Amino acid sequence: MKIMSFAIAAGLAVASLTTTASAADITGAGATFPFPVYSKWAEAYKKETGNGMNYQSIGSGGGIKQIQAKTVDFGATDAPLKGADLEKNGLVQFPTVMGAVVPVVNIQGIQPGQIKLTGQVLADIFQGKIAKWNDPKIAELNAGVTLPNANITPVYRSDSSGTTSVFTTYLSQVSKEWDSELGANTTISWPVGQGGKGNEGVAATVKQVPNSIGYVEYAYAKQNNIPYTLLQNQAGKYPQPEIKSFQAAAASANWSSAPGYGISLTNQPGDDAWPITNPTFILVHKTAEKPEQTAEVLKFFDWAYKNGDKLAADLDYVPLPDNVVEQIRTTWANEIKSASGQPVYKK
C-alpha cells in the first residue's frame, strides 16, 4: 500500500523559544501509530499560524534511520530508544501522547467488541498454533457467538514498526512460548500470515481479507470501521478500548524510570487497564545543526501540549499528564542546544 504522508502548514511563535518563526517547513518522518493525531494537530496549527510541516508516515524504523541520518528535523517512533542508543546518536527523546494497539478482525457478522481473546490465545493465533476461528480455545471464551469453521489469516506489519515492538512486547509478557521462540522487536520472522505496510496497510489488508486478524493503533480501527476484539487484561477483565482504559494503564507510570521517558505501559495491573497501551515518541538531535528548524519542531509540540488535548482525545489518544509535560520542557531547555552551546528553548 502506498505510504501515507502529509504536508500541512504549521507553526506558532512561542515567546519562550529563543528563535523567531522560520518561513521554512519543518520535516519529520516515522511512526504510523500517531499519524492521525499529528495530522489533526497540524491542521489546527496551520489555521492559527501558517508555517509548514511535512511528515511522512513510514514506520518507526524509518523514522529512526532518517533522524540518525539528519535528513529530517525530527523522527517519530513508538519503540523508544534505549539510553545507550540515545547517547551514541546524540538524540533527545520525549513522548507526545499515549494510545493503544487493538486486535482487529474481518469475520462475517462479527461486531466490534463481540469476540473475547486472552493474550495466550492471541499469541497462539499469530504463531499458527490456533488456525481456525472455531478452535475450542477461542470458542470457550465466546459462548453464544457463532464462529466460522474458517482458516485464520494473521496480518502483521511488513516494515520496521514500533507498533510491532509494542505488540510483540505484550505477547512476550503473556506467552512464554512467544517470548522464547519469537521475542519482541520492531521486526520479527512471522511464522504465518501476510504483511501490510504501516498501520494503514494492516488496516486495509484486514478489511480486504475474510477471516483475517491484525493489530493496529485504535484510531485506525475506529476510522476504518474495523471490528476490534476485546482482550483479557492482567486482572482477568475485558475492558473496552477507550480513553478510560488507556488512562488506567498509565495511572501508575513512572516516566522518569527510563532514559528519554522510554517506559512501557503493556500488561499493566488494574481492572480497567487496556493491556496494550503505549506512549509514542519524538527524536531530535541534542546539538541542533539547524537551531531554527529544531526550534520550529519544539514550537509545534509545545503548541500541541497546550492546545491539542481535545483533538487527541477525540481520536482516543490520551494526553500526557501536565507534570510530565513540564518535565519535557525542562529537558528541552537543559539538553537541546545549538552548535555554539546556546539553548534552543527557554522555559
Residue 15's pLDDT is 32
Residue 35's pLDDT is 93
Distance CA 198, CA 161 (A): 8
CATH 2.60.40.2470 fits 101-255, yes or no: no
| Amino acid residing at 72 | V
Residue 21's pLDDT is 39
Residue 252's pLDDT is 84
Is the separation of the CB atoms in 9 and 52 below 8 Å?
A: yes
For the chain of 347 residues, list the mean pLDDT of each consecutive stretch of 10: 37 35 73 94 90 90 97 97 97 97 98 98 98 98 97 97 97 98 97 97 98 96 95 98 95 93 95 97 97 96 96 95 96 97 92
Domain with CATH 3.40.190.10 in the chain: 5-99+278-338, 101-255
Measured in residues, the chain has a length of: 347
Residue 347's pLDDT is 82
Residue 24's pLDDT is 55
Distance CA 291, CA 26 (A): 11
DSSP 240-271: -SSHHHHHHHHTT--GGGSGGG---EET--ST
Does the predicted model carry a pTM greater than 0.75?
Answer: yes
Those residues whose C-beta lies under 8 Å from the C-beta of residue 137, and which sit 6 or more positions away, are 121, 124, 130
State the alpha helices, DSSP H only, in 13-59: 35-48
- Superfamily of domain 5-99+278-338 in CATH is Periplasmic binding protein-like II (3.40.190.10)
